[in-house]
């Protein structure tokens, strides 16, 4: 395939055609069986189904950066004569919810109820984002409009199920004080109705030190859980929250420890728990699964995904499922197992995807019953 040869030349190594596999050749079934055994020790089928049924009663407040995900789909049959780049023949375009809007979309698709606090620009993209949310039945009264900034939009060009390039249109300047006040007032109004709060930080201006301070103040008296999907440059904002969910790269950068193996992973994980004073830390590790650090204990949950087509939005799925599970009474370990199963579903889809209760229940029955 011409496009495949182009990518191989570009990266100077073999890239498997089809799904994007981080590890190309190894015993998938052995890895899956080992992962199943670990998960079953943490969560059994009956308990998992009970937690999923509880999603419908969960109420989650999501605060964060609202993003539009724009996908341009096509195919490549030639290289441009103007420059060594592929020419993509566009076949389709889709607009999907991204950032904190995708967290809410995942919560909604799993049957949970949500409140969303954030900012869009006074532009067509912002109006479209609000319209999509309304069409799904997701409340939008916590979305403020800032006419001085554009709505953040990420455009990905995808050919043959592989992302060719991404370009972002955004403004990261501080949001105007009056706009922040409208969002803060909404948070104050809805936090009491919520079982748990999620802060989805994409470093686009919504999540600030003052905003985290407000969230901690409002949740502290009731000991309401707070989950943060973080950005490295804001890690010091997250002190004292319940759970922080960095990926492997973010955990390494934030801790100052290069994560190369299990020993350095544990060193980084415990260093961040101590630094942040959080109850737990969940490091998402791509093809290696997840690692949960809680107090003085850690548990590693291997992935069940056989093929990885697209990781766009997978972190949002993990955050949403963790929030729903904790709100439904799960322990952190139980929630992590369900989040791991959900992530295994979405990465096998192309584009910013969500999970349904039926899909997650099916994954529970498939994977946890193997050793149940």
* Residues pairing with 297 in the sheet: 294
Q: What are phi and psi of 204, to 5 degrees?
A: -105, 5
* Active-site residue flag, 201: no
> Kindly report the CA angle at 250 between 195 and 351, in degrees rounded to 5?
70
Is the torsion defined by CA of 12, 13, 18, 23 positive or negative? negative
**Secondary structure letter of residue 147 according to DSSP:** T
Asked if 283 contacts 267 with a C-beta cutoff of 8 angstroms, the reply is no
* Residue of 65, 146, 229, 316 marked active site: 316
Between the CA of residue 254 and those of 235, 260, 277, 314, 333, what are the distances in Å?
Answer: 7, 15, 14, 20, 23
Name every residue whose Cβ is closer than 8 Å to that of residue 19 and which is 6 or more positions away in sequence: 161, 307, 308, 309, 348
Cα–Cα distance for residue pair 49/40, rounded to 1 Å: 13
Question: How far is it, in rounded angstroms, from Cα 215 to Cα 262?
Answer: 34
What is the layout of strands, in order, in the sheet containing 162-169?
86-99, 66-79, 152-159, 162-169
DSSP alpha helix (H) spans, 256-371: 262-276, 314-327, 332-346, 357-368
The token pair that represents 191 in the structure block: 């936090």
Q: What is the C-alpha to C-alpha distance for residues 211 and 241, in angstroms, rounded to an integer?
A: 13
Residues 195/60/203/129 CA torsion (nearest 10 deg): -160
- Cα angle value 171/189/357 (rounded, 5°): 80
Angle at CA 163, nearest 5°, toward 159 and 164?
A: 75
What residues are annotated to the active site? 316
């Amino acid at each position: 395939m011409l496009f495949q040869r182009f990518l191989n030349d570009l990266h100077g190594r073999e890239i498997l055609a089809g799904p994007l596999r981080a590890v190309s050749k190894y015993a998938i079934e052995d890895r899956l069986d080992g992962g199943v055994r670990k998960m079953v020790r943490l969560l059994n089928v009956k308990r998992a189904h009970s937690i999923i049924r509880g999603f419908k009663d969960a109420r989650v407040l999501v605060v964060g950066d609202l993003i539009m995900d724009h996908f341009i789909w096509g195919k490549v049959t030639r290289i441009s004569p103007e420059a060594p780049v592929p020419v993509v023949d566009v076949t389709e375009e889709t607009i999907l919810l991204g950032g904190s809007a995708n967290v809410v979309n995942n919560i909604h698709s799993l049957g949970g109820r949500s409140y969303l606090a954030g900012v869009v620009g006074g532009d067509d993209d912002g109006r479209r984002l609000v319209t999509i949310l309304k069409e799904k039945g997701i409340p939008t009264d916590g979305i403020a409009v800032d006419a001085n900034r554009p709505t953040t939009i990420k455009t990905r060009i995808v050919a043959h199920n592989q992302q060719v390039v991404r370009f972002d249109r955004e403004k990261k300047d501080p949001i105007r004080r009056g706009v922040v006040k409208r969002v803060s007032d909404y948070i104050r109004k809805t936090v009491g109705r919520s079982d748990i709060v999620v802060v989805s930080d994409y470093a686009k201006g919504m999540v600030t030190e003052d905003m985290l301070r407000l969230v901690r103040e409002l949740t502290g008296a009731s000991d309401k859980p707070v989950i943060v999907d973080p950005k490295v440059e804001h890690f010091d904002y997250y002190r004292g929250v319940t759970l922080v969910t960095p990926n492997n790269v973010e955990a390494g950068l934030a801790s100052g420890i290069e994560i190369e193996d299990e020993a350095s992973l544990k060193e980084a994980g415990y260093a961040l728990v101590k630094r942040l004073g959080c109850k737990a830390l969940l490091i998402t590790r791509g093809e290696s699964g997840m690692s949960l650090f809680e107090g003085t204990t850690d548990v590693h949950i291997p992935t069940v995904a056989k093929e990885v087509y697209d990781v766009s939005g997978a972190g949002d799925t993990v955050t949403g499922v963790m929030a729903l599970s904790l709100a439904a009474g799960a322990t952190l370990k139980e929630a992590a197992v369900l989040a791991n199963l959900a992530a295994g579903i979405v990465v096998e889809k192309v584009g910013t995807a969500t999970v349904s209760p039926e899909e997650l229940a099916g994954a529970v029955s498939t994977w946890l019953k193997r050793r149940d």
